[in-house]
Structure 1
Amino acid sequence: MKVSIITVVYNGAEHVRDCIESVVSQTYPDIEYIIVDGKSTDGTVDIVKSYGTKVDRFISESDKGLFDAMNKGIGMATGDIIGLLNADDYYRHKRVIENMVATFERAQSDAVYGDMLYVDRNDTGKLKRYWRSGWYSENAFLWGWMPGHLSFFAKRWVYEQYGVFRLDLKTAADYELLLRFIHKNKIKLAYMDEVTIVMRAGGQSNSSLRNRLRGNREDKLAWKLNGLKPYFFTLWLKPLRKITQYITKPPGDPTYKAPEVSNR
């Protein structure tokens, strides 16, 4: 199966090499790598271009934000499977895509998801959060569950049939998309019981109390937009479930350093 990996970036020169290296070093042989740049001015474009044909498709143009750029990448993808990886983040090891495809084949699923680590933005060896998604059970969204969207890989037909990210949501577009795919349309899921993504701490949805409250309102809207009704406690359980992410520790190697960058 061909896998399309999409990275969106805007003025990400500080970290984008780590992201690209983690993709181009993957052991899986059939990867289409797409980078969508928001017309960066900090040298990002030159860094991407330095990878030559290792990046299969690259555009640099103005967009309407993160999710618009993701939608552009999804529209360009020709792979059987689509995955997203932001420019600040990177794959945990070189066999992530290989293991993910094997999970698809073994489970005959429509989508695969795994676990994620949040690390200090400047010291990637310092763990902040461990997002263990765990096994999915029907109606888990009603109990505040969701997988990390960057650990989520879906067949391209899922996007074609059920749609892409909504641009009228700012912080909950990823939640709404997963709610629509998994809870509403009941695509077949498979859990990849390992850490797949390392994310540098930060982002719109969790950077401040104000954004968290706005996110809660948008989460509620996500249910309404899909003609769904949550339990009265669903939208409060969702952020409360994150508390354990600051307490539990991942198994295995405690080192989460970014991948080494090739000399260029």
Structure 2
Amino acid sequence: MKISIITAVYNRERTIAAALASLHAQTHPDIEHIIIDGGSTDGTLPILEAAARRPQTRLISEPDHGIYDALNKGLVRATGEVIGILHSDDSFADRDVLADVARTFEAVPTDAVYGDLDYVSDDDSARIIRHWRSGAYTPARLRRGWMPPHPALFVRKPVIDRLGGYDTSLRIAADYDAILRWFIGARIQPAYLPRVLVRMRVGGVSNRNLARIVQKSREDLTAMRRNKVGGLTTLAMKNLSKLPQFLAR
């Protein structure tokens, strides 16, 4: 099974090497890596160019209109049976992540596999700030604001080809909108892999400041309403569901 991993990056000299190392360490034998660089002006590009010399790695470096535009460029170019995302600040939790994902796809008739995610300190990736235990999927949970962690979600390419990628009019919540569209439109019964797949550094765009939090809530509500999974009550449940993630594991 070929797995396509898309990385969107812009000026991430400090973190991109660790992200790439976690991908290059994977034991799964068939990985396509598509790197979409937004025209980095720091030391990111030389690191990416070195990575692009590896087999099945493609680098596109050009201006874009934000992360979702960059991810859409990757989706168009992906040729794998399954597609996943590796953000430039993130890393796979261990070397067997993609092998376990592939085994799950092969064992279970499903169009999506997802797992858990750890938020880690920006300056110490060994220190866990927040643990996102996804739990098993049900349609009722989706309507209570549940979603799988976007970086820990892997989806079969035909689903994305049929239902589309990320809506770039949403600047923060296009991933949530896409997940709702894929799960509802394809009537996906995803398989839950109950283990941490990705470590994400804290400080992402969606929770950087109060204005961003407000914008994300508005976009979440737009996604809920357009995909007919609820409204303000669902939004409130979605936000409240994050609180247990800060408790000790």
Deviation, 1:184, is 4.3
Q: Partner of 1:157 in structure 2? A: 158
Q: Partner of 2:74 in structure 1? A: 73
SS at 1:143's partner residue?
A: coil
1:21-49 Cα distance to aligned partner (Å, 9 max, x none): 11111000010111110000111110111
- Name the count of aligned residue pairs: 248
Deviation, 1:154, is 0.4
The residue identity in structure 2 corresponding to 1:192 is L
1:185-227 Cα distance to aligned partner (Å, 9 max, x none): 322310011000000001121222322222111111112333x
Backbone CA RMSD of aligned residues = 1.2
Deviation, 1:108, is 1.4
233-242 or 208-217: bigger deviation: 208-217
Q: Partner of 2:49 in structure 1? A: 49
Deviation, 1:98, is 0.2
SS at 2:172's partner residue?
A: coil
- Whether the 8 Å CA contact 2:172–2:206 is kept in 1: the answer is yes
- Whether the 8 Å CA contact 2:2–2:81 is kept in 1: the answer is yes
Q: Partner of 2:172 in structure 1? A: 171
SS at 2:205's partner residue?
A: coil
- Whether the 8 Å CA contact 1:117–1:197 is kept in 2: the answer is yes
17-26 or 214-223: bigger deviation: 214-223
TM-score (norm: length of structure 1): 0.91
Which whole-Å CA distance do the structure 2 matches of 1:185 and 1:224 have between them?
18
141-150 or 228-237: bigger deviation: 228-237
1:62-83 Cα distance to aligned partner (Å, 9 max, x none): 0000000000011110000000
The residue identity in structure 2 corresponding to 1:209 is L
Q: Partner of 2:142 in structure 1? A: 141
1:91-135 Cα distance to aligned partner (Å, 9 max, x none): 000000000001111111100000000011011121110001110
Deviation, 1:232, is 4.4
Specify whether residues 142 and 50 from structure 1 end up closer, same or farther in structure 2 by C-alpha distance, changes over 3 A only.
Answer: same
SS at 2:32's partner residue?
A: strand
Q: Partner of 1:246 in structure 2? A: 246
Specify whether residues 23 and 229 from structure 1 end up closer, same or farther in structure 2 by C-alpha distance, changes over 3 A only.
Answer: closer
The residue identity in structure 1 corresponding to 2:159 is V
Q: Return 5+ residue gaps in structure 2 as ranges.
A: none
SS at 2:19's partner residue?
A: helix
Which whole-Å CA distance do the structure 1 matches of 2:180 and 2:24 have between them?
31
Q: Partner of 1:125 in structure 2? A: 126
- Whether the 8 Å CA contact 1:141–1:183 is kept in 2: the answer is no
Specify whether residues 55 and 2 from structure 1 end up closer, same or farther in structure 2 by C-alpha distance, changes over 3 A only.
Answer: closer
The residue identity in structure 1 corresponding to 2:10 is Y
The residue identity in structure 1 corresponding to 2:97 is V
Which whole-Å CA distance do the structure 2 matches of 1:112 and 1:191 have between them?
6
Q: Identity of aligned pairs, percent?
A: 41
- Whether the 8 Å CA contact 2:31–2:56 is kept in 1: the answer is no
